[in-house]
Amino acid sequence: MSLAYLSLGSNLGDRAGNLRRAIFLLRSVGDVERVSSAYETEPVEVIAQAWFLNCAVALETNASPECLLASLLAIEREMGRVRSGSKGPRVIDLDILLFGNEVCNSPDLSIPHPAMQERRFVLAPMAEIAPAAVHPLSKGSMRELLEALPSQGQIVRKVMDSLTVTD
C-alpha cells in the first residue's frame, strides 16, 4: 500500500456535494484515511469564473501512480467533467499531489504536483491533514511550505470543518 495525497476542487454546481461524491468514489481506488476541511478559494490564472471549494485527501492505495491517475480521470468523467480548456470552470478536479516519496516526470504525470508549493489552496488543506509530510524535492514539510508563502496573495478561507461522506 502507498499513501497518496490528493487535491480536490469544484466550482460548478453543488461544490460541497461534488467534493463529497468524489471522496465517496475514491473508495473504489483505496482507503480514504483523512479528509481536510473545505476551503473556499479564489480562482488562479483564469480569474473570470466562480470561486472554488477545495480540500485534500489522504488515500491508501495499491494502485501505481499511473493507475491512480487513470482512476481519477475516470471519476472526473463519471462526475461530468468536460475538459474544455486549462484552468477553466469544472465540476470536479482531482490531482495527485504526493505519492509516497516518489518522483515522477512523464508527459502524462508529474509527482510531486509541479505547482503545489506555490498554491495556498493546496497547502492549507495539506498542512491541516499532513503538516509533517515532506515534499520530496524541496524537502520542506507542508507546514513549512505554507508558512513560506507570501502573506499577500490568493484568498483561501476555511468554510467547513469536515466533508462528511455517507454511503
- DSSP bridge partners of 30: 61
The residue annotated as part of the active site, out of 20, 21, 95, 120, is: 95
Cα 2 from Cα 119, distance rounded (Å)? 24
90 is catalytic: yes
The residue annotated as part of the active site, out of 15, 20, 21, 81, is: 81
The residue annotated as part of the active site, out of 15, 21, 93, 119, is: 93
The residue annotated as part of the active site, out of 15, 20, 21, 90, is: 90
95 is catalytic: yes
DSSP annotation string for the chain:
-EEEEEEEEE-SSSHHHHHHHHHHHHTTTEEEEEE--EEEE--SS--SSPPEEEEEEEEEESS-HHHHHHHHHHHHHHTT----STT---S-EEEEEEETT--EE-SS-EES-TTGGG-HHHHHHHHHH-TT-B-TTT--BHHHHHHHS-SSS--EEEEES------
The residues assigned a catalytic role are 81, 90, 93, 95
